[in-house]
Amino acid sequence: QVQLQESGPGLVKPSETLSLTCSVSGGSINSNSYYWGWIRQPPGKGLEWIGSISYTGSTYYSPSFKSRGTMSADKSKNQFSLRLNSVTAADTAVYYCARRDGRDGYHMFDYWGQGTLVTVSS
Partner 1 sequence: QPVLTQPPSASGTPGQRVIISCSGSSSNIGSNTVNWYQQLPGTAPKLLIYSTNQRPSGVPDRFSGSKSGTSASLAISGLQSEDEADYYCAAWDGSLSMYVFGTGTKVTVL
> Of the listed pieces 10-18, 26-34, 58-66, 67-75, which binds partner 1 according to CB under 8 A?
58-66
> Of the listed pieces 10-18, 69-77, 82-90, 105-113, which binds partner 1 according to CB under 8 A?
105-113
Which parts of 1-122 are beta strand (E)? 3-7, 11-12, 18-25, 34-41, 48-54, 59-61, 69-74, 79-84, 93-101, 109-112, 116-120
For residue 89, the SS3 value is helix
DSSP secondary structure letter of residue 22: E
Please name the residues in contact with 41: beta carbons below 8 A apart, sequence gap of 6 or more.
47, 48, 93, 94, 96, 115
Of 60, 70, 78, 85, the residue at the interface with partner 1 (CB under 8 A) is: 60
- Contacts with partner 1: how many residues (CB under 8 A)? 22
Closest distance between partner 1 and the C-beta of residue 56, in Å?
18
Tell me which long-range contacts 103-107 makes (C-beta under 8 A, separation of at least 24): 103/33
The yes or no reply on residue 2 touching partner 1 (CB under 8 A) is no
Instruction: Please identify, using beta-carbon distances, which residue of 9 and 42 lies nearer to partner 1.
Output: 42
DSSP secondary structure letter of residue 90: G
The yes or no reply on residue 115 touching partner 1 (CB under 8 A) is yes
The yes or no reply on residue 95 touching partner 1 (CB under 8 A) is no
Interacting residues with partner 1 (CB under 8 A): 37, 39, 46-49, 52, 60, 62-63, 96, 101, 105-110, 112-115
